[in-house]
């Protein structure tokens, strides 16, 4: 019996051990605040999303305002451009009326000068490229008018003087034009060769002959061996006696072609882009150079 009670007594402490372990439930209860933290984090996340939505709406509103301002500015610019266009149209209309008043002044028809041929002036229509418009005396008259108007705009007190001087110079240009037309109108030849750049398109178009050149439109172009060979063939083909060259440019190519071809002489033909010392010493201006240099050379080279 004694041994049985001892066994019972020794076994009972297991219940007390279990009781000591029961605080685990209370520990779990203490850990429950995690759910509360999660709820708070969820609320914060929702608040952040709400703030982002508000910021997005504000951004959209700002963009909308910018678009409206841009449209307003664009509309105002278009309105301003329309007003400017109307003003420009009125100015063009005024200029057209002014141009019509002067269109017949001193103009010669292409038939009078013989410059209009079946192939449209030998196919040389380079007005958009060639800047040497002053080599056409008729076109130069309009430039004189432009200068006159500009001077009057800044010095209206002397308008009468400017008008008188412009009238006198336009009359001299008419005489120069007539001299070229009369002298070259019955020429036996219609081709000349210039050992330089292509600066004479307005001159040839006005008076009905053809100018062949060594290089293209730019005065900075340098002749290549192919250019020299082509020039030699052209001189031979047209049986040209003269090689023309601008005294204001390099004469090397012209001298070479005279030596290497059947051409017998070099003659001056200038784009009047400046003056030689000799011309300056003689007091020559544009009209003097055109008469004494260009017209005299063309008369000889074209056998006029």
The answer to whether residues 144 and 290 belong to one domain is yes
Same domain, 206 and 66: no
pLDDT tens digits, 166-185: 999 999 999 999 999 999 99
pLDDT at 50: 59
Which of 89-93, 154-158, 192-196, 203-207 comes out lowest in average pLDDT?
89-93
Checking if the pLDDT of 94 tops 70, the result is no
pLDDT higher than threshold 90 for residue 81: no
- Domain extent, residue 62, equals 42-102
Q: What is the pTM of this model?
A: 0.59
Which residues, 6 or more positions from 139, have their beta carbon under 8 angstroms from its beta carbon?
A: 133, 202
Q: What is the pLDDT of residue 181?
A: 97
Q: What values do phi and psi take at 168, rounded to 5? A: -65, -45
Question: Within a domain: residue 90?
Answer: yes
In a shared domain, residues 94 and 136: no
Q: How many whole angstroms separate alpha carbon 304 and alpha carbon 296?
A: 10
Q: 9 in a domain, yes or no?
A: no
196 lies in the same domain as 266: yes
Q: Are 211 and 198 in contact (CB under 8 A)?
A: yes
Contacts of 186 (CB under 8 A, 6+ apart): 304
| pLDDT 10s digits, 207-225 | 999 999 999 988 888 999 9
Residue 278: pLDDT band (50, 70, 90) is very high
The reply to whether 46 falls in a domain is: yes
Task: State which of 61, 83, 102 marks the end of a domain.
Answer: 102
Considering the domain architecture, whether residues 83 and 163 belong to the same structural domain is answered as no
Q: Are residues 213 and 137 in the same domain?
A: yes
d(CA 297, CA 267): 6
Residue 192 · residue 105 · CB < 8 Å: no
Number of domains into which the chain is organized: 2
Looking at residue 215, the DSSP 8-state letter turns out to be: S
Please give the average per-residue pLDDT across 62-71, as a whole number: 54
Q: Model confidence over 117-140: pLDDT tens digits?
A: 333 333 344 444 789 999 999 999
Q: In terms of DSSP bridges, do strands 191-194 and 210-213 run parallel, antiparallel, or are they unpaired? A: parallel
Residues 154 and 232 in one domain: yes
């Amino acid at each position: 019996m004694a041994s049985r009670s001892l066994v019972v007594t020794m076994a009972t402490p297991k219940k007390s051990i279990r009781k000591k372990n029961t605080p685990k439930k209370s520990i779990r209860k203490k850990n429950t605040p995690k759910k509360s933290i999660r709820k708070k984090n969820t609320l914060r996340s929702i608040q952040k999303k709400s703030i982002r939505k508000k910021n997005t709406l504000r951004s959209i509103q700002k963009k909308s305002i910018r678009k409206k301002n841009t449209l307003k500015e664009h509309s105002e610019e278009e309105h301003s451009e329309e007003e400017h266009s109307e003003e420009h149209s009125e100015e063009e209309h005024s200029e057209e009326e002014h141009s019509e008043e002067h269109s017949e002044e001193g103009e010669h028809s292409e038939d009078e000068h013989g410059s209009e041929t079946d192939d449209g002036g030998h196919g040389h229509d380079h007005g958009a490229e060639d800047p040497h418009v002053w080599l056409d005396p008729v076109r130069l008259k309009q430039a004189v008018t432009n200068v006159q108007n500009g001077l009057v705009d800044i010095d209206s007190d002397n308008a009468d003087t400017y008008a008188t001087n412009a009238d006198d110079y336009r009359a001299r240009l008419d005489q120069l034009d007539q001299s070229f037309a009369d002298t070259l109108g019955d020429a036996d030849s219609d081709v000349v060769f210039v050992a330089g750049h292509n600066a004479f398109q307005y001159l040839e178009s006005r008076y009905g002959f053809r100018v062949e050149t060594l290089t293209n439109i730019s005065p900075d172009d340098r002749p290549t061996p192919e250019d020299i060979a082509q020039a030699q063939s052209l001189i031979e083909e047209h049986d040209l006696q003269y090689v023309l060259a601008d005294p204001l440019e390099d004469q090397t190519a012209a001298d070479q072609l005279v030596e290497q071809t059947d051409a017998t002489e070099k003659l001056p033909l200038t784009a009047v882009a400046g003056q030689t010392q000799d011309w300056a010493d003689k007091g020559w201006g544009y009209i003097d150079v055109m008469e004494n240099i260009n017209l005299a050379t063309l008369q000889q080279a074209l056998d006029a």
